[in-house]
Structure 1
Amino acid sequence: MLIKFLFLLVSKLPLPVLHLAGILIGRLYWRFAKSKRHLALCNLRLCFPELSEAERERIGRRSCEHYIKTLLETPLIWVGSARRVCRLVTCVDGGERVDAALAHGKGLIIAAMHLGNFEAGITPMAARYPMTGLFKPVKYPALCELSRRGRTRFGGTVIPIIKRNGKRAVGSQLLRALKRGEIIYALPDRDPPRGQGVFAPFFGVEAHSPVLVPKLVQATGARLLFCVGERLPRAAGFRVRFVEPPEGWDSPDLDVATAAVNAGIEACVRQCPEQYWWAYKRFKRRPYGQTCVYRGTVQLAPAEVNPPQAQAA
């Protein structure tokens, strides 16, 4: 009840107030959360080696501010006035691409990312289109229920990402939705568990990348669009952009298709890098034999982690 009350309270605040609080809290977070600052700067050095250290520092700090803004906007999107939530989106670029993709009849995959606030654009879409999304349950039941209800308040369905027999089982439900010609959305900009991804370039660096989206495309012939909920200056709302994928997204070669998905994410991030969440271990897993970029240790193959004991002479 306390969590719901806090969400309701925050949802009443004007967007400029939420964003001002996001800037102030974000700057404190950047200053005192040393581990997150280290992660952000490591990632920015890898992805933007051409920038000065001062410029990377500025992008990292602004990224923290936008991250806190996203957290503070969440109560508004989940429990705030429905009319107000819909009015958050003041501009839509490429909206006609959604209808064109659905007209193909094989469903549409929307690839969102931790850039700006993707929920501001995607959540209200369920009032117009049949949609299915993924969400990761959190430890606290009350917050988990708020998350589920908030993301389905305009309609649609969300599927919890849970492990069965050590693997995440969500593919069959998404396949059924696509075969019905519906929209599904996922966030393919994160590092999946070892064995559930492939290495593909991201900003020129090999990144362990999820293969769910390419596999769904290969299995159904669904169309693919990228979606960005770009935060506008001066708390003016959001510009939602639907972007066509780069060449290779529908390749039968999984490595080629995954590289194309990463290239699409990279192109979106380059449009507003300050709004991307850089303080995440995107390059945590390395190809075996390479050095971890965050700790400096070598990534060993499973057989090398616990080598068999040498036989006694």
Structure 2
Amino acid sequence: MTARTPTLRFVASRLLYTAVVLLGVLVVVFALIHLVPGDPVRIALGTRYSPETYQALRHASGLDRPIAAQFLSYLGGAVTGDLGVSFRNGQPVTLILLDRLPATLSLAGVGVVIALVIALPLGTLAALREGRAVDGAIRVVSQFGVSVPDFWIGMLLITLFSAVLGLLPSSGYVPIVEDPVQWLRRVTLPALTIGLVAGSIMTRYVRAAVIDVASSGYVRTAESKGLGRAVVVGRHIGRNALVPVLTITGIQLATMLGGVIVVEVVFAWPGLGRLMYDSVASRDYPVIQGAVLMIAALFLAINLIVDILYSVIDPRIRLS
């Protein structure tokens, strides 16, 4: 057996697990429209209802066919990227989701970078100074960040940087490919909002992970050999604390990709979270279905990447 075989087997098992979970999510998403009380098409049309429009929308959505045929059609469509059409504007759901995805990816990407910049140094410092004043101060600040609602932080940032200082716009979105400078100016406040909250959560996990590793026997052995503190922290503590830190980072990134709805509403950010909010308000069930499915797929993709990184950081995970 080659050294590569356990890695390939580990990745294959995670891919199979991801596919099974995604199939289960697809079944639940399909059932969503049939579990809604009343006729979803009639509810979605509201005051726009007419018999002709009603029948046309039911036919376009495939809701006039038997349940089994609808599921097989939805399954086949999901595999090929066809998630139906919106009740609200008749556009393909896939195109609507892809149009919103870049905004979500950019916000989540910048947000998780800010969270890591906050959490890694502060969590490590608090762990290395456990029980001292700096540890207590960092724990108090992180607890404050966890407890305060993200929309309140967002409103404070808007008041300070937009209303008082006039440095940054309070809302709106510009794609990075169109104008990188304007994109950066507009993504800063919402990303800082979610980054501060996620960073506060992650700081506590980093602190706990570093404390746990620092008390290990091999760390004490390294210190007894006369290795410098920087070498011990960087080579022995840092790498071995990465697995739990990677776990919470993946969870926070997946949460951001799922759409921080309140933050997106506050900053008028056109991401998947804002799309879900608008779709629920307008009873646009095909878009809700598609958004839930895409968010689940993103969440599973992040988990898969994290699992693979586990095996890279600690080979014992894939061998087990």
Q: Which structure's residues are more often helix, by fraction?
A: 2
Structure number with bigger Rg: 2
TM-score, normalisation: structure 1: 0.24
Tell me which protein shows more strand as a share of its residues.
Answer: 1
